[in-house]
Each structure stands twice: as structure tokens, then as C-alpha cells.
Amino acid sequence: MTGAFPITIYHNPECGTSRNALAMIEAAGYAPVIVDYRSAGWPGLLLNELLAAMGVRPREVMREKGTPAAELGLLDPSVSDEAIVEAMRMHPILVNRPIVVTPKGAKLCRPSEVVLSLLDRQPAQFTKEDGEIVRP
């Protein structure tokens, strides 16, 4: 069903939020393109294009916990957007996840149920890994 309504998820399979967003997409009947951005990286202008599509600055999607953000000095408010994007290219784990792109737009889906706003149809009900029930 991906062709009629293409979906791409920039995914980290080790992240519960990312796994939940992917499972919600699949529960709604979609077969998304799944990109493990940690291994694929951010080629060319892709990251800049995603940031523009989401209408956010790099700092807004920068992950601090479990990343080298502090060691790289990226937490200083004076660090430029360009420097943050370059660091994200060199260390893909710095980009928070999941980012989902559909014909309805692109969003950082944290919490995972944000993904529902990007879908044309919804799962009837969804239970997250932690047992929380999401009703669209």
C-alpha cells in the first residue's frame, strides 16, 4: 500500500518510540520505507531537506541523551545551525528519532502517536510496548 501513500521512517530499531511509531504505521496497513539512519547516515542535502520540510532548526531535533552532543560542544547556544548539521552528518545518532515523511508532511514523531497525524487512515486501536493504549 506504500505506492499510493508513500511513507518513509528514519528509524532506530533500538528506540522504543521509533519502534512504536513504525508499528502504528504498519497497524494502519502501510508498508513504509524504513531507513536505519544510524547506518545509512545523512547523504547529500537530505538532512537539510528534512529540517526544512519539518520547519525546524537542527537544535530542535538534536538528541542529547546517549550521544556525543556534550563532548562535541553542541549544547552551547552559540553553536551555529551549520555546525550542528555537520556534526549530525558525522554522528547520525545526534538526530532524534523517528522522523516520518508522508504526503501529509514530515515530523519528528515524539511521542510516537504524533505519527497518526501524518497518516491517511488510522489503526482502530494501538497498544504501545509499555502497555499504553492509543486511540486515534
Cell triple for residue 55? 520547519
Q: Which of 15, 50, 88, 109 is catalytic?
A: 15
Strands 8-11 and 105-108 turn out to be: unpaired
DSSP 24-52: HHHHTT---EEEEHHHH---TTHHHHHHH
User: In the annotation, is 109 catalytic?
Assistant: no
- Give 59's DSSP letter: G
Please identify every residue annotated as catalytic.
15
